[in-house]
Amino acid sequence: MMTKTLSEEHCPSEAEVLAMPAADYMNARQMEFFRQLLVRMREELLENGQSTIAHLQETEATPDEADRATQEEEHVLEQRIRDRERKQLHKIDSALHRIAIGTYGYCEESGEPIGLRRLLARPTATLSIEEQERHERAERLFR
């Protein structure tokens, strides 16, 4: 039987976070909710990485060229996925750091709240929707 830590017992649900008044934006309970969400995401990515390593180590080489080519393509795809996950781990660690220093949930450009719904959709977001759109428009212009 798994026991909950003290912080898990007091962590609100997603519905409770959304029901909190706007004036309570990024209060301690919301920060704990997002901290636990990010920690779970991080643990899942690390587990995926371990399963990939195990899968790559147990794959036997085959003498058939077509099978070997298929295996190599599968390995390349798995490595691309792990590369994306490594980048995501960096973003998660950065978000956890922002929680620790109290800046999580606020746009890095404008300082305005990012918003609970956006953070629920993308817990590693660093920009408000407005700033993200502005950033993407500028990116398209300068390509």
What is the rounded average pLDDT for all residues in the chain? 87
pLDDT at 65: 81
Q: Please indicate whether residue 44 or residue 8 has the higher confidence score (pLDDT).
A: 44
d(CA 95, CA 40): 13
Q: Is 105 exposed, middle or buried (0-12, 13-18, 19+ CB in 10 A)?
A: buried
Amino acid identity, position 122: R
Q: Is the pLDDT of residue 52 over 80?
A: no
Q: What CA–CA distance (Å, rounded) separates 9 from 32?
A: 11
Give the pLDDT band (50/70/90) at residue 28: very high
First to last CA, the chain: 54
CA distance 105 to 126: 7
Q: May I ask the CATH class of domain 7-141? A: mainly alpha
Minimum mean pLDDT range among 23-37, 40-54, 100-114: 40-54
Q: For the chain, which residues make up each domain, given as ranges?
A: 7-141
Mean pLDDT across 67-94: 87
Q: What value does the mean pLDDT take over residues 35-58?
A: 82
pLDDT of residue 13: 92
3-state secondary structure the chain: CCCCCHHHHCCCCHHHHHHCCHHHCCCHHHHHHHHHHHHHHHHHHHHHHHHHHHHHHHCCCCCCHHHHHHHHHHHHHHHHHHHHHHHHHHHHHHHHHHHHHCCCCECCCCCCECCHHHHHHCCCCCCCHHHHHHHHHHHHHCC
Percent of the chain with pLDDT over 70: 85
**Which range is least confidently modeled, 23-37, 52-66, 88-102, 128-142?**
52-66
Q: Who wins on pLDDT, 93 or 4?
A: 93
Q: 35 pLDDT exceeds 90? A: yes
Cα–Cα distance measured from residue 86 to residue 90, given in angstroms and rounded to the nearest whole number: 6
